[in-house]
Amino acid sequence: MESSDEAGRVVPRRLHVVPVLLLVAIAAWEILATRCSATSVPGDPAWAKAAQFVRAGYQPGDLIVFAPGWVDPVGRMHLGDLIPIEVAARMDAARYGRIWELSIRGARSPDTAGLTPVAITRGAGIEIRRYERTPVEVVADLRDRVTTARVEGGGGGPTVELAEVGFAPHRCLQVVPTAGVPLRITFPGVPLGTELVGYVGIADVFTRRDNRAPAQLDVELGGQVIASATAGVDDGWIRFAAPTTPGTAEVTFIARASSAHRLICFAAEARR
Amino acid sequence: MRTERLVGWILALLTTILVVGNQQDVGVARDEIVYMQHGSRYAEWWLGLVTLDHGIGKATVTKTWGGPGATDNNREHPPLIKTLFGLSEKLFHDGLGVDEVTAYRLPTAVLHGVCVLLVYLMALALWGFAEAVAGALLLMLLPRALFHAGLAAFDAPIMTLWFASIYAYWKCLDGRKWPWQAGVVFGLALATKHNAFLLPFAIGTHYLVLGVRNRAAGWRGIVLHRWRLIVSFVVLGPLTLVAVWPWLWFDTFQHVRDWVAFHTTHVHYNFEYLGDNWNAPRFPWHTALVTTLFTVPLVTLAGAALGAVSWWSRRAQVTDLSRAPGLLLALSAAASIGPFFLGTTPIFGAEKHWMPALPSICLVAGVGVVWAARLAIGFIDTLRPVPARGRAAILGGVVALVVAAAAVETVTAQPYALTWYSALAGGAPGGADRGMNRQFWGVAARGVLPVLAAEAPPAGSPPRPVYTHDASPAWGLYQRLGLVPGTLPDAGREQVGIDRSKLAIVIHEKHFNRHDYLVWKSYGTVQPIFVLRAHGVPIVSVYRRP
């Protein structure tokens, strides 16, 4: 790190100022960045203004989402009266034709993936995006037909629950199959469209921790398995889908788990 | 030299004052309640013993210190710090009128000051005054460590006792005849927290390396070159542990085995890291690395990196070459943080569990900062001679700027330091974006108590039960302190408590999302009336039953 001049004296090189310049630059940046990040998230006045804007254009049946996910409680505080529990705990966003996305920090909600906003309004750090699309038409929601379900095999009948699956809320049909014994849940006379879409996951973080076995769900139509999904403890809310022929049919879900107390949560819709 | 040592004591005092002042706004952690309650009982037992109110029979010891269950009388944790909490409460709260929570937390604050002092003294001995001041200040201004030092818990104390063990061992390597200090301090560390089981890895390795230098004397030179130290650790360490822990006064081996077994088979609590909830091994190998990068001020880490380079390049100039202090500090940090790279060690609590690595980091950072400043002064001197006063000004300016950056991070972090992340992560919002753990122990509930108090019915009216979630253990204390009106009783746990409640709080952690949904179901709404935030990041929601 050192060199000598003509007289033989030790002379520090210019490189010797690099460490201190590095430290000074980091310190100065850290002071500014710390203060900037601490004030970078919009506060309640900005949210109140954004909420006012959304309310002015809101129509019944619209979906309101917030991004990133961690700001969801703040969004619900300002607009939660426009978000029924069933909507907050939706199976997915496909049945919503209009979606309001309130975003900070440039984030996108998974519910608007692939969509292009028809309107964008920016103000005080919150971007309000409105999306419009042709929603799917649901001809049957299996959750609404729980009372018609017929059960065979190991375990009790399904109940409709508001459950935590993959750390998100989902209104679903919950079953607890006997370990190693398939549980068949049959819905008679289900109106079908062109597609049956559903999701499955394991409810409750603590049972997922203490019991690491996956859950298996098969969907049978006319004695044929048309869709299958395996949900592991860290997989969250797993989508499955199968084409169907419009008409009326008996749909059977077969839930399996290799160990006891596995809370299997699923939902399914027949879509036109 | 006396003046220089006095500066160390002043820094220690300032640290303690800073911790005591800072904790005033920090809520009561779930585990603190347990440690406070048992600490008071332990203190009463000792006072009863010295006043001859009771003896040391198995029955009286078991009643206070143990029992058949794995967690009876909190016997799964050693008692030293809890006992100090209890004695402190008796002296400062009962005796001198200091508020109850501060009195319980005072021992931790004092020990944090001691840690700063030890770092100062070691740096002073090895390098000099400037390095000592810089290192001590950087330790004082660690946002998460400052927070933990304000809690009546074990994590800050074990950092101090760990480093005190390293310091005592280093001092006792001088060949003194009776190196009792090393064994006693190690015993106190064992009596503080089980992290101390890792200390022999650092100290033992260092001892053997010094021995290998002495290999010309054969295996005796390698193994027995400071044999009195070995005796001190092996004999005085366990004796000290047993002396302060009456539960070990009988069935000693069984009770030690129970203690160790509790921690080797500990349940994996939920912990969010990089967007995923972790509650079972294998854990990511990089958890400790990334979390340290995000929870120690960047300027401190940069100083430590420079310090490591400078220490290595100037190792021949270290005043204490024969005792290899650089190696000792490196081994100390490695032994403390190393297990968290294995993928099987629980990662909940994150950086609080490897805090003993921090004194090494800060001491070396102090060396690095001063080295960088002096290099620059040397360069400037070749361009234009710098007078002594100018040199001091440049050195002081660089140290001040570095310390200011750490100070800004530290001030910004409080009082919700578990939600805070450094500028490198983008602060609290950056930490949330990256899916870093939001908080734990229910501390943040303190921030919504005024909101709840405003919802309280007047005295004499029917109560409005509150679902208190993770603040449930602290609720009685909050009521005793007057922070929660008596008309807001705790409604109880889980769904039964929620259904009984008129108000509810949910403390935001990824695995606590389910509590939001339980409240929605019972209250019929997803809309909280208030959301407490730390720099915009939600930490507690308050619901009112419509």
**Band (A13; pLDDT cuts 50, 70, 90):** confident
Chain B residues near residue A43 by CB distance under 8 angstroms: 536
Which of A34, A206, A209 to mutate to test binding with chain B, by most B CBs within 10 Å of its CB?
A34
Amino acid at site A37: S
The stretch B11-25 carries a mean pLDDT of 98
Domains of chain A: 2-39 (no CATH), 44-132 (no CATH), 138-271 (2.60.120.1060)
Amino acid at site B346: P
How far apart are the CA of B151 and the nearest CA of chain A, in angstroms?
A: 24
Average per-residue pLDDT in chain B? 96
CA–CA dist B122, B106 (Å, integer): 25
The residue among A152, A257, A177 whose CA lies nearest residue A215 is A257
The stretch A22-32 carries a mean pLDDT of 98
**Band (A28; pLDDT cuts 50, 70, 90):** very high
If contacts are CB pairs under 8 Å, which of residues 263-302 in chain B contact chain A? 268, 270, 276-277, 279-280, 297-299, 302
Q: Which two tokens stand for residue B265?
A: 């088979």
Q: What angle do CA B7, B130, B13 make, to 5 degrees?
A: 25
Q: Is the pLDDT of residue B303 over 60?
A: yes
Beta strands in B202-285 (DSSP E): 271-273, 276-278
CB contact under 8 A, A37 and B535: yes
Query: Which residues sit opposite A98 in a β-bridge?
Result: A132
Q: Is the pLDDT of residue B168 over 60?
A: yes
CB contact under 8 A, A23 and B303: yes
CB contact under 8 A, A12 and B382: yes
Q: Which two tokens stand for residue A248?
A: 């009326």
Q: Is the pLDDT of residue B401 over 90?
A: yes
Comparing alpha-carbon positions, the chain B residue that sits nearest to A87 is B526
Amino acid A12: pLDDT: 58
Which of B517, B539, B544 to mutate to test binding with chain A, by most A CBs within 10 Å of its CB?
B517
Q: Indicate left, alpha or beta for B457 from its phi (over 0: left) and psi (-120 to 50: alpha).
A: beta
Closest CB to A34: pick one of B280, B409, B533. Answer: B409
Interface residue B180 vs chain A (CB under 8 A): no
Helix, strand or coil, per DSSP, at residue B503:
strand
Residue B111, CB-side half-sphere exposure with 13 Å CA sphere:
32
Q: How many CB pairs under 8 A join A and B?
A: 180
pLDDT single digits (tens) A213-254: 999 999 999 899 999 999 999 999 999 999 999 999 999 999
Closest CB to B404: pick one of A31, A37, A212. Answer: A31
CB contact under 8 A, B378 and A24: no
The stretch A110-130 carries a mean pLDDT of 97
* CA–CA distances in Å: residue B374 to residues A23, B188, B319, B402: 13, 39, 18, 14
Q: Is the pLDDT of residue B541 over 90?
A: yes
**Band (A1; pLDDT cuts 50, 70, 90):** very low
Query: Which residues sit opposite A102 in a β-bridge?
Result: A66, A128
Q: Are A67 and A104 in contact (CB under 8 A)?
A: yes
Q: Is the pLDDT of residue B255 over 80?
A: yes
Interface residue B522 vs chain A (CB under 8 A): no
CA–CA dist B277, B284 (Å, integer): 11
Task: Give the residue with greater pLDDT, B235 vs B215.
Answer: B235
Burial class of residue B321 in the structure, from the number of CB atoms within 10 Å of its CB (0-12 exposed, 13-18 middle, 19+ buried): exposed
Closest CB to A105: pick one of B302, B429, B521. Answer: B429
pLDDT single digits (tens) B481-524: 999 999 999 999 999 999 999 999 999 999 999 999 999 999 99
Q: Which two tokens stand for residue B146?
A: 């400052």
Amino acid A245: pLDDT: 97
Q: Indicate left, alpha or beta for A129 from its phi (over 0: left) and psi (-120 to 50: alpha).
A: beta
For A42-77, b/e burial (b = at least 16 CB within 10 A) is: beeebbeebbebbeeeeeeebbbbbbbbbbbbbbbb
Comparing alpha-carbon positions, the chain B residue that sits nearest to A37 is B427
CB contact under 8 A, A31 and B408: yes
State percent of chain B over pLDDT 70: 100
The stretch B91-100 carries a mean pLDDT of 98
Amino acid B405: pLDDT: 98
* CA–CA distances in Å: residue A124 to residues A104, B342, B537: 10, 45, 17
pLDDT single digits (tens) A130-151: 999 999 999 999 999 999 999 9
Task: Give the residue with greater pLDDT, A256 vs B216.
Answer: A256
CA–CA dist A121, B57 (Å, integer): 75
Q: Are B35 and B73 in contact (CB under 8 A)?
A: no
CA–CA dist A110, B422 (Å, integer): 28
The stretch B8-19 carries a mean pLDDT of 98
Comparing alpha-carbon positions, the chain B residue that sits nearest to A10 is B382
State residue A105 phi and psi, 5-degree precision. Answer: 60, 25
How far apart are the CA of A131 and the nearest CA of chain B, in angstroms?
A: 23
**Band (A2; pLDDT cuts 50, 70, 90):** very low
Q: Which two tokens stand for residue B520?
A: 């929605």
How does strand B537-544 pair with strand B530-534? antiparallel
Block residue for tokens 């699309």: A133
The residue among B111, B117, B135, B112 whose CA lies nearest residue B6 is B117
CB contact under 8 A, A12 and B378: yes
Which helix (H) or strand (E) element contains residue B255?
helix B252-264
**Band (B316; pLDDT cuts 50, 70, 90):** confident
Q: What angle do CA B291, B292, B296 make, to 5 degrees?
A: 120
CB contact under 8 A, A89 and B517: yes
Chain B residues near residue A35 by CB distance under 8 angstroms: 408, 412
The residue among B168, B169, B157 whose CA lies nearest residue B115 is B157
User: How many residues make up chain A in this entry?
Assistant: 272
Query: Which residues sit opposite A225 in a β-bridge?
Result: A220
CA–CA dist B201, B192 (Å, integer): 18
Q: Are A175 and A183 in contact (CB under 8 A)?
A: yes
CA–CA dist B399, A23 (Å, integer): 10
Interface residue B202 vs chain A (CB under 8 A): no
Q: Is the pLDDT of residue B318 over 90?
A: no
The residue among A221, A265, A16 whose CA lies nearest residue B379 is A16
Interface residue B495 vs chain A (CB under 8 A): no
What value of ipTM does the predicted structure carry? 0.96
Q: Which two tokens stand for residue B529?
A: 């009336």
Average per-residue pLDDT in chain A? 95
Q: Is the pLDDT of residue B461 over 80?
A: yes
pLDDT single digits (tens) A151-204: 999 999 999 999 999 999 999 999 999 999 999 999 999 999 999 999 999 999
The stretch A66-71 carries a mean pLDDT of 98
pLDDT single digits (tens) B364-382: 999 999 999 999 999 999 9
How far apart are the CA of A222 and the nearest CA of chain B, in angstroms?
A: 36
Chain B residues near residue A39 by CB distance under 8 angstroms: 535
Interface residue B538 vs chain A (CB under 8 A): yes
pLDDT single digits (tens) B47-90: 999 999 999 999 999 999 999 999 999 999 999 999 999 999 99
pTM of the model: 0.95
Residue B125, CB-side half-sphere exposure with 13 Å CA sphere:
13
Amino acid B187: pLDDT: 98
CA–CA dist B188, B365 (Å, integer): 27
Burial class of residue B461 in the structure, from the number of CB atoms within 10 Å of its CB (0-12 exposed, 13-18 middle, 19+ buried): exposed
CA–CA dist B140, B120 (Å, integer): 11
Closest CB to B531: pick one of A30, A35, A77. Answer: A77
Q: Which two tokens stand for residue B544?
A: 């009112």
CB contact under 8 A, B527 and A77: yes
How far apart are the CA of B83 and the nearest CA of chain A, in angstroms?
A: 34
Comparing alpha-carbon positions, the chain A residue that sits nearest to B543 is A77
- DSSP letters, B144-155, are HHHHHHTSSSSH
Chain B residues near residue A83 by CB distance under 8 angstroms: 526-527
The stretch A94-104 carries a mean pLDDT of 98
For residue A157, give every residue at least 6 positions away whose Cβ sits within 8 Å of its Cβ, in sequence order, or none: A149, A151, A175, A185
CA–CA dist A233, A89 (Å, integer): 20
Q: Is the pLDDT of residue B221 over 60?
A: yes
Chain B residues near residue A73 by CB distance under 8 angstroms: 508, 516, 528, 531, 538, 541
Interface residue B511 vs chain A (CB under 8 A): yes
Q: Indicate left, alpha or beta for B442 from its phi (over 0: left) and psi (-120 to 50: alpha).
A: left
How far apart are the CA of A25 and the nearest CA of chain B, in angstroms?
A: 9
CB contact under 8 A, B405 and A26: yes
Q: Is the pLDDT of residue B280 over 50?
A: yes
CB contact under 8 A, A23 and B402: yes
Kindly report which listed range (A104-108, B195-199, B220-224) carries the lowest average pLDDT score.
B220-224
CB contact under 8 A, A30 and B376: no
How far apart are the CA of B76 and the nearest CA of chain A, in angstroms?
A: 22
SS (H, E, C) chain A: CEEECCCCCEEECHHHHHHHHHHHHHHHHHHHHHHHHHCCCCCHHHHHHHHHHHHHHCCCCCEEEEECHHHHHHHHHHHHHHCCHHHHCCCCCCCCCEEEEEECCCCCCHHHCCCCCCEEEEECCEEEEEEECCCCCEEEEHHHHHHHCEEEECCCCCEEEEEEECCEEEEEEEECCCCCCCEEEEEEEEEECCEEEEEEEEECHHHHHHCCCCEEEEEEECCEEEEEEEECCCCCCEEEEEECCCEEEEEEEEEEECCCCCCEEEEEEEEC
Which of A6, A32, A70, A210 to mutate to test binding with chain B, by most B CBs within 10 Å of its CB?
A70
Closest CB to B302: pick one of A13, A23, A68. Answer: A23
Comparing alpha-carbon positions, the chain A residue that sits nearest to B395 is A20
The stretch A92-111 carries a mean pLDDT of 98
Amino acid at site A254: I
For residue B513, give every residue at least 6 positions away whose Cβ sits within 8 Å of its Cβ, in sequence order, or none: A164, A167, A168, A169
Q: Are A253 and A266 in contact (CB under 8 A)?
A: yes
Chain A residues near residue B541 by CB distance under 8 angstroms: 73, 77
Amino acid at site B544: R
Q: Is the pLDDT of residue A10 over 70?
A: no
